[in-house]
Structure 1
Amino acid sequence: MRFVYAAILGFVGFVTSFGAHIVAVNLPVYARQVGVGVGMIGLLIAAYDLAEIVAKPAFGAIADRAGMKKTMLLGILVFIASSLAYLWSRPQLLLLIRFLQGVGAAALSSVSLALVGIYYKHTRGRAYGIYNTIKGAGYVVSPLVGGALVLRKNFGYLFIASAAVGVVAFLASLFLPNVKEKAGPFEEAEELSLKSLLSVLRAPILRRWYFVIVANMFFVSILFGFVPVYLYSLGYKSEIAGIFLSVLALSYLLVQPFAGWLADKYEARTTVLWGIAVSALTIVLIPFAKGVPLALISIVAGLGIGTVWTNSAAAVSSLAKEGRLGATMGIAGSFKEFGDMVGPIVIGVLSQAFGLTFGFVACGLLGLLSLALMVFRRG
């Protein structure tokens, strides 16, 4: 029973990972039906993340002042309502629907992360490992469920499934205890202002970890957003593509508890650098593989991104100032979504202009460049 709250919060995180990726991995089908290219696929993925970038710091700060549980429940309701709205809208409005889903996800994901840090102040690494394991299950389940729904039903059923998961998370979250971290004098006046964001960005240690989060999510978005496009270009059916993506996600999922143990026991910098190096190299290799080699590369990629995410989340949580955990994790979430947004746009534009192989290789090399900056930058 020790980590029950972490499990519930992990399922809240599952809502956004499931809701984001059940749609994202099936966007090649949507693109074929509506008649758009890979560049638009990148924008549709990025719209969800853009909403989270804008909303996460605000929701994190509001949660610190108005109550975390209440803010999280509100976010879940927004996510449910926006998911169901697709059923009464035209397919061409998917960009707007994805943005509204992202607004709801901003509240539930940033606050659930902060609550893990509050409930488990002395075992954050393991708690975040459990949280990310359950949240990461959304990456495993969504390709399989989404592929089956698109094949047997239609694209709209993806949003019904997303709303149903949101309802379960809402009901489970009602059993969480209420907490309210008191803000300090500085937060009372500045929490919702630009100065709050700038004060965090001036902290060199936090700034370095935010850069790590951006780089890692750049890779995550490419893997989960454009590996489906690559598989579709090879002629794989949606069900087979779903299995490939589930293999990738499963490796990301299973490494989380071990990564949490590493975060509690060892210095995170070395582990993170190795994880980013592995992820970058796998991005480069993906367009040159198919079948079993592609599955193996996907497994290694999942291990890399999973290790980096758990270590970086635990590090940022431990460095947050007292009374500012919600705002700090909210800002961290915005950097996460920035990486998640930039990845699909960059690879989408490059692939539209020069082909998928060029897009993957160029993005992998950009990742290696970011690794070099992390290694050699001082201060």
Structure 2
Amino acid sequence: MSRRTDSRAPRDPRLDPRPRLGPLYLAGFTTAFGAHGVAAALGTESENIGLTLWGLGLILALYDIAEVVLKPVFGALSDRIGTKPVIVGGLLVFAAASALGVFAASPALLALARLAQGGAAAAFSPASSSAVARMVGPGQAGRYFGKYGSWKSLGYAGGPLIGGALILWLGLPALFVVLAVLAAVAATATAWRVPALPVLPKQRVTVVELFRQSTAPAFLGPVVLLAVATSTLGIAVGFFPLIGAQLGLNPIVGMGLVTVIAVISAAVQPRIGRLHDEAAHRAGPLMAAGSVALVLSLVLAGAIPALPILIVAAVLVGAGVGIVTPLGFARLAATTPPDRMGRTMGSAELGREIGDAGGPILVGAVAAAASLPIALVVVSIATAASAALGATWAGRGSPATADDDRG
């Protein structure tokens, strides 16, 4: 048997040959739905609940701040005590935080609910990714991470749409009720259907070894590409509708652009995941193609701001995110020992959160000094440079190379 086969993360022999991942897909949908649904709702309801623009910005940031700080922590915790307790516990806390949001009559309580939601999502999101990786093994990681990412994309698309409809018909508390029910159902289903993965013995790691692992090309390459994808997605979701508004388009058209991105991403990810499992050697060229699509989307939106071009740019963003996301996670799953899968997934999620926040901030800063079209073109250059660096590292840290290093 080859060294590469020996070093792969095996599936636990006690697991069903058809992994029970439905509850984990629902958990992914819940965190995405909660992130975008509440954010969109607060923007429309800020005056009704007495929020200033500064207060709105702070509450919107609290969810992401909690995730950035806590995802690596909970990812490492899932390695220590098991993924299932962290997923179930995180979902239950998310349900409780959403229930608090139902009765949040003041901005302070709303901020507390949002902070608690972000902290809870920081627990069950990386633990869910780790559970997917360990339950399916590297040979099927692309296929199942494609499905997992597809469900998250549906949450990102459905959040603003369903959330907007709920607050229009029933008010903001109804959105928090739905989130509480979703999280409770996901927690119950996870506790009932998802097997408890054994906690694997961990080797003692020195500070030097930890630094070496965190800066290895096999880790940095996929994480940088994942950050590029989420950065472009954040820019598109935040600024494509604004460009549409500047063109005098109906706000529904701007929301439609976001929906196009999410639907294309949801459709592409499972197919790309299957392609990865059937021909893993194509992952590098595919990730490069996805990165090109992401860069081109920003160039087109900035250089030719017109509705047909925005639609093309939205399709490119959806395709780029749909290509890079499952391939990045599949590559991480194939090159990470199972005993530190949670820590790796938590750190990867941290990279995505930094990209999600950093991209829009950079566009906003450049746009304030120049203009939005110029900002998009400038950021596309930074995106291209980051993607090239990530692709170079990912190529150096191919699964075969990583296996040799670990053997």
Same fold (TM over 0.5): yes
Residue pairs, 1:275-354, within 5 angstroms:
275-287=290-302, 288-354=304-370
Amino acid in the other structure paired with 1:257: P
Amino acid in the other structure paired with 1:78: V
Q: CA RMSD in A?
A: 2.9
TM-score (norm 2): 0.81
Residue in 2 aligned with 1:201?
A: 214
Residue pairs, 1:185-196, within 5 angstroms:
185-186=203-204
- Measured against aligned partners, the alpha-carbon deviations of 1:28-51 in whole angstroms (never above 9, x if no partner) come to 4356774528x975x655432332
Residue in 2 aligned with 1:258?
A: 271
Amino acid in the other structure paired with 1:299: V
- TM-aligned CA distance change 1:376 to 1:69, over 3 Å: closer
Residue in 2 aligned with 1:112?
A: 128
Residue in 1 aligned with 2:74?
A: 59
Between the aligned partners of 1:257 and 1:19, the Cα distance in structure 2 is 23
Mapped contact 2:79–2:200 kept (Cα < 8 A) = yes
Amino acid in the other structure paired with 1:361: V
Query: What SS is found at the alignment partner of 1:184?
Result: coil
- Which region of structure 1 is more displaced relative to structure 2, 71-80 or 360-369? 360-369
Q: Does 1:78 align with 2:93?
A: yes
Query: What SS is found at the alignment partner of 1:123?
Result: helix
Between the aligned partners of 1:113 and 1:326, the Cα distance in structure 2 is 8
Q: Percent identity?
A: 31
Mapped contact 1:50–1:341 kept (Cα < 8 A) = no
Q: Tell me which structure has the larger Cα radius of gyration.
A: 2
Between the aligned partners of 1:9 and 1:315, the Cα distance in structure 2 is 20
Query: What SS is found at the alignment partner of 1:72?
Result: helix
- TM-aligned CA distance change 1:284 to 1:372, over 3 Å: same
Between the aligned partners of 1:207 and 1:297, the Cα distance in structure 2 is 27
User: How many equivalent pairs are there?
Assistant: 372
- Measured against aligned partners, the alpha-carbon deviations of 1:270-299 in whole angstroms (never above 9, x if no partner) come to 111111111122123235444444233212
Between the aligned partners of 1:236 and 1:82, the Cα distance in structure 2 is 37
- Which region of structure 1 is more displaced relative to structure 2, 149-158 or 105-114? 149-158
Residue in 1 aligned with 2:230?
A: 217
- TM-aligned CA distance change 1:162 to 1:313, over 3 Å: same
Q: Could you list the runs of 5+ residues in structure 2 that have no partner in the other structure?
A: 1-15, 397-407
Mapped contact 2:19–2:135 kept (Cα < 8 A) = no
Mapped contact 1:197–1:331 kept (Cα < 8 A) = no
Residue pairs, 1:345-364, within 5 angstroms:
345-364=361-380
Mapped contact 1:55–1:103 kept (Cα < 8 A) = yes
Amino acid in the other structure paired with 1:53: V
Between the aligned partners of 1:161 and 1:241, the Cα distance in structure 2 is 25
Mapped contact 2:265–2:319 kept (Cα < 8 A) = yes
- Measured against aligned partners, the alpha-carbon deviations of 1:200-225 in whole angstroms (never above 9, x if no partner) come to 21323212222222222211222233
Amino acid in the other structure paired with 2:348: A
Residue in 1 aligned with 2:387?
A: 371
TM-score (norm 1): 0.86
Q: CA deviation at 1:359?
A: 3.5
